[in-house]
Chains A and B, each alone.
Chain A
């Protein structure tokens, strides 16, 4: 599928996201102080697909929200698309998709996709053109004037992805976007997402609970552990560009799943051993 290239600064070879020694503390100094993230460092290259995986409470969603500048770091630095995270948010350098599609009930599908463009002040003709293009990308062109409640869960999530990518951001942040879908739809959506990302060369940071999902989608799987959240392992996947249903039955696929699973098991043994590190 044809797709215009993203912002030019990507071609300069600078990383898409640089997380440098970031920590996040909620309720600092309070009785219920929570060390959500501790000394996280992570660099994501343009076009890369990185999954964050770990048990509940490991801070993977928090890390995603820090990158999105929906939360601010307690210490460390965060560079997105070559600028501070706050500036990247103001410039709409990323799109975001959540577990719930979160479409607005009072807007039809096309209008939902146009929402971020309206906020950027695009005129109507340009918005129309872009939403039509995005609908084609997620293969929902004939549903442009449907209302969200008329679509299935998988279709709603596709609209949410189209909305996240409508402004052609170089970076896509996804927080368990397929978590609420059934297994069949989920696998279908994973394949769709890969083809969308390939055609748009979008960088993706993807939070998930599912090991097979992380392995299937990612160039790199980042394993995190809780209390305080930190990165315990990074696993390169490299299943190749042409992943399909056969990939899911290949032995390399299972090998990587085992590797990730063992990395996750390791967390249990370490347990809270490093839990009480005060910075």
Chain B
């Protein structure tokens, strides 16, 4: 799947570049057709070559590949932490909502509101809150804010999927557990949670994507260095003189997303061994 999609993208990119107008075109007076000049759309080969050359002209600096790789690896770790935190938080919320009727009814609007808060507005706030937090030798770091914001985006699909999943067992199965005089926790562990797995896997995939977006956006808005989001921003400022460079960082971001998706698929495959074939996505 992934190699096929990659080839398709390259074909589309180079294909359009070959036939599209050099300086773009207007549609009803609006500039809609993108330019295909080397400055706007560098050749794929040129992007790949750019990876091998030094980051800044001067000779002695590291290559772009090293820079992009380091930044991607940095963002990956932050996003992974965000995903793990988001999954834990989302599951916890859903569990509490499954357990307590009052929460089930009262909490949902707040969950939805939480996702309408613009991340850009929230990001600087978490940094300043964190800055005031001092526990002994512990000091709040900017990357912790990024991980938190990433978790903030990632928890939502998990919570929504888990709420549905925990409520998915049919009445007869719940009655069965009741007839065994099972405790709520036994019912959760042996019925609700395993029944929810089919709902959780798609939710985890969405959460992984959200975690990546969360990290990239918050890197940019809180000015966290080292990450791929920041790298895209700084490379894009050189786009006029060195158009291929920014695309190397974009490729890094894409790889970051793919790596997260691959990780989730791996978890999915391990957990879904015992599910009927038709229930597997």
Listed in ascending order, the chain A residues whose CB lies under 8 Å from chain B are 65, 68, 70, 89-92, 94-96, 98-100, 102, 104-108, 115-116, 118-120, 147, 149
Contacts and interface: CB of A to CB of B under 8 A. Distances in A.
B26 interface: no
Contacts of A108: 274
Contact of A102 (B176, B178, B278): B176
Given A106-B274, A115-B190, A149-B276, A92 B175 contact: no
Contacts of B181: 89-92, 119
A147 B176 contact: no
B254 to A, nearest CB: 35
Contacts, number: 57
17 contacts: A65-B175, A89-B181, A91-B181, A92-B180, A95-B179, A96-B179, A98-B176, A104-B195, A106-B194, A107-B274, A108-B274, A116-B180, A119-B177, A119-B180, A119-B182, A149-B276, A149-B278
Contacts of A91: 181
Contact of A106 (B178, B197, B278): B197
Interface residues of B, number: 22
Interface string B151-194: 00000000000000000001011011111111000100011001
Contact of B279 (A95, A104, A105): A105
Nearest to A89: B181
B193 to A, nearest CB: 10
A105 B173 contact: no
B271 to A, nearest CB: 10
A141 to B, nearest CB: 21
A98 B194 contact: no
B275 interface: yes
A104 B172 contact: no
A108 B276 CA distance: 11
A89 B178 CA distance: 8
A96 B279 contact: no
Given A65-B175, A98-B176, A120-B180, 11 more contacts: A92-B180, A102-B170, A102-B172, A102-B176, A104-B173, A104-B195, A105-B276, A106-B275, A107-B274, A116-B180, A119-B180
Given A70-B179, A118-B190, A119-B182, A100 B275 contact: no
A104 B191 CA distance: 8
Given A115-B190, A118-B190, A119-B182, A100 B276 contact: no
A176 to B, nearest CB: 11
Contacts of B176: 96, 98, 102
B274 A98 contact: no
A93 B180 CA distance: 9
Ranked nearest first, the 4 interchain pairs of A and B with the lowest CB-CB distance are A149-B276, A106-B194, A96-B179, A119-B180
